[in-house]
Structure 1
Amino acid sequence: MSEIWPLLAAFVTALLLGWVMRRAAIIDRPNQRSNHEKPTPRGGGIGILAGFFIALALMPEQAPASGAMLAGLALCGGIAGVTGLLDDLFTLPEALKFIILAAISLALAAMAGPVRELVVSLPWIVGLAGTGLWVFTCSNAVNFMDGSDGLIAACLIPACLVLGLAGGDDVAMASLALAAALAGFAVWNVPLIRARGTLFAGDAGALGASVLFAGLALRWAALGPSGTVWLAPLLILPLLGDVLLTMAARAKAGRRLFAPHRAHAYQLLIRTGLSHRRVAAIWAGLSLACGALVLIGAAGPAGLKIGVFVIGIAGFTVFHRIVRRRAAAAGEDVTQ
């Protein structure tokens, strides 16, 4: 029963701070790549981070190593969240954000443990760089995808719940706390009762929550059974896959990779007439399917883990190509 209170505190904190942020003056105004037409409050990520931090403070005492790791994770997530909040308020230079996120990614990789065992053993410095790249890619992918109501919650909540089932004690409880905080934010962001959500996470939430999740998944990959590293990307494949496959398609078409665009699969679905509610439901279904693959892989040997990874990648690639072909058939420019 004592483990329920931190989760409840995370949910209520995110819910209440979401209510506050809806009345604050931090507004997301539509631009050329927006999926909304009306100015919408943002900053709901402040509630996500606060809820997670409060849950950590209320959790039963951890072993020294676990406590230090979670404290370091919270610090990295907090710095990422503050960076995102400042960007929401003042629009930080891209170079400065890159440097801060790169430093956070490398620090978190060192604290959680660089992944060095893939098909072959990697030198420590290569493992550190690759692991830092995982954190950096996750943070940017989630930030890119914070453009449709309910999308982040639809992907990160199932991912955190699966990590709560598959991870070790410290990873499991912290993952459930993050899921609870995301659920509190989702009350305002997911278009269930209303046709549209009434609060965005903003960069504060997208960067903060993604760094927290990436660190927890990394901790699981570093300490889990052999082959666990192949399962971590599957947890948020619907987000990572959409970003990476879209970038590949734009590169093939000769587009500037980092120019503003509306070519992600979720954006193409919205452009062809699907509601934000339906898109969020589709991504939730994809996330649950990926979670099922993760749980299957976690129960077997390393070979099975690689197998479900390949199945997940292949399945999402097919889905992504179908979306793009249908959008192109409907007359949409699928690279811009």
Structure 2
Amino acid sequence: MEVRYLVVFCILTIVSIIYYGFAKSLGIVDKPNHRSSHTRVTVRGGGIIFPIAALLWFLIFDFQHALMILGLVLIASISFLDDIYSLNRKIRFFTQFLALSLAFYDLRLFQHLDWYLLPIFYFVALGIINAINFMDGINGITGLYSLVFFGTLLVLHQNMPIFEEELINYQILAILAFLIFNLRKKALMFAGDIGSISVAYLMIYFMTQWFLNGGGWTVILILLIFGADVFVTMATRLLNRERLTEPHRKHLYQLLANEGKIPHIPVAILFAVLQGIFNYFVFIRTETTPSTLQGLGIILTTGLFYILIKQTLKKRFSKAEQGS
């Protein structure tokens, strides 16, 4: 068993090396600008091995969940084209909607969920896809956070065998291979849209599976730390009448990495560790999910705590900048 995992890991690492040379020669790179948190040209799209790992699982394990895999291939392909050409927003949205529909049909969501709840489900799912994409801004953060997500599912699966364990294992192997190139002071590759959106799609698939097996809506708290940063930042920008489609550097992780001058790796580790601790006490230790009242309380408390921390840090960094 361990030998097979080693072989898969080596295959994914070799694919990453090949892709690195391919992308560099074709100019599939991310060039830094005034909104970037990096300072040198870096290969984009290294997360291509996330859908490749899922395809390997699909081929090895008797072509299971074909509709979900079809959706993954679709969303990954469009995301990769977007990494290269910057596609129209409507094309991206339609593709994400279609891919999610395939995943939901694969899980028979439409048979179990009342029709009037479907728009909410799609809204949340599309929000998660874009939230994970927004948070892919510094070295290591997408890989480490995803590692915590899939690691948590793997632990939960031991007492709640509802997930595709081998697919989770293959994703963990892909993340570890990707981190070889990304978890460093000067990253060799970024995940790109193909990486962040593909992994977000798989996260939604597993969370939906969990939801349908009695987890309730509070399963989304497995993404609490990312969610707090994205949605509080979005709410703040709306209050300031900013256009949400315009790039910015106002997330907490960007504040820490840019204004705070804290290296990317410690910031990425901080976000992953915080989510890991939360997952342990809320999901793993209890072997259940929070009630609706508990979930709302957690979200409200986290949001207020997040705002307090962010405002405190902004004042501190502003004073430090003025003093220098």
Classify the TM-score, shorter chain: 0.7 to 0.9
Amino acid at match of 2:37: N
Q: Would you say how many aligned residue pairs link Structure 1 and Structure 2?
A: 311
* Equivalent position to 1:210, from 186, 200, 208: 200
Question: Residue 190 of structure 1 contacts residue 277 of structure 1 at CA under 8 Å; is this kept in 2?
Answer: yes
**Does 1:57 pair with 2:59?**
yes
Q: Which residue of 1 aligns with 2:172?
A: 179
CA distance in 2 between counterparts of 1:211 and 1:267 reads 24
Mapping 1:131-280, distance limit 5 Å: 131-167=121-157, 168-191=161-184, 195-223=185-213, 225=214, 228-271=215-258, 272-280=260-268
Other structure's SS at 2:52 match: helix
After superposition, the C-alpha distances for 1:246-284 in whole angstroms (9 at most, x for unaligned) are: 001111222222211110110010122111011111111
Q: Which residue of 1 aligns with 2:322?
A: none
Other structure's SS at 2:318 match: coil
Tell me by how many angstroms 1:314 deviates: 2.1
Amino acid at match of 2:177: G
Amino acid at match of 2:40: K
After superposition, the C-alpha distances for 1:221-245 in whole angstroms (9 at most, x for unaligned) are: 112x3xx134421222222221111
Tell me by how many angstroms 1:109 deviates: 2.6
Tell me by how many angstroms 1:137 deviates: 1.5
**Does 1:80 pair with 2:75?**
yes
Amino acid at match of 2:298: I
TM-score w.r.t. the length of structure 2 is: 0.86
CA distance in 2 between counterparts of 1:171 and 1:17 reads 24
Other structure's SS at 1:258 match: coil
Tell me by how many angstroms 1:159 deviates: 0.5
Question: Residue 268 of structure 1 contacts residue 324 of structure 1 at CA under 8 Å; is this kept in 2?
Answer: no
CA distance in 2 between counterparts of 1:312 and 1:174 reads 30
CA distance in 1 between counterparts of 2:134 and 2:244 reads 13
After superposition, the C-alpha distances for 1:97-122 in whole angstroms (9 at most, x for unaligned) are: 122112222332333243899xxxxx
Cα gap change, 1:95 to 1:217, in 2 (>3 Å): same
Q: Which moved more, 1:20-29 or 1:139-148?
A: 20-29
Tell me by how many angstroms 1:297 deviates: 6.9
CA distance in 2 between counterparts of 1:309 and 1:182 reads 31
After superposition, the C-alpha distances for 1:131-160 in whole angstroms (9 at most, x for unaligned) are: 222321121111111110000011111111
Amino acid at match of 1:185: F
Cα gap change, 1:109 to 1:298, in 2 (>3 Å): farther
Mapping 1:54-133, distance limit 5 Å: 54-59=56-61, 67=64, 70-114=65-109, 124-133=114-123
Question: Residue 297 of structure 1 contacts residue 308 of structure 1 at CA under 8 Å; is this kept in 2?
Answer: no
Question: Residue 50 of structure 2 contacts residue 175 of structure 2 at CA under 8 Å; is this kept in 1?
Answer: yes
Other structure's SS at 1:236 match: helix
Question: Residue 242 of structure 1 contacts residue 320 of structure 1 at CA under 8 Å; is this kept in 2?
Answer: no
Question: Residue 71 of structure 2 contacts residue 98 of structure 2 at CA under 8 Å; is this kept in 1?
Answer: no
Amino acid at match of 1:86: L
Root-mean-square deviation over aligned CA pairs: 2.6
Q: Percent identity?
A: 23
Tell me by how many angstroms 1:323 deviates: 2.7
Cα gap change, 1:254 to 1:20, in 2 (>3 Å): same
Question: Residue 47 of structure 2 contacts residue 192 of structure 2 at CA under 8 Å; is this kept in 1?
Answer: yes
Question: Residue 48 of structure 2 contacts residue 195 of structure 2 at CA under 8 Å; is this kept in 1?
Answer: yes
After superposition, the C-alpha distances for 1:65-114 in whole angstroms (9 at most, x for unaligned) are: xx3xx322221111111111101111111121122112222332333243
Amino acid at match of 1:13: I
Amino acid at match of 1:109: F
Amino acid at match of 2:267: V
Q: Which moved more, 1:106-115 or 1:202-211?
A: 106-115
Q: Which runs of 5+ in 1 are unaligned?
A: 118-122
CA distance in 2 between counterparts of 1:219 and 1:115 reads 13
Tell me by how many angstroms 1:125 deviates: 1.8
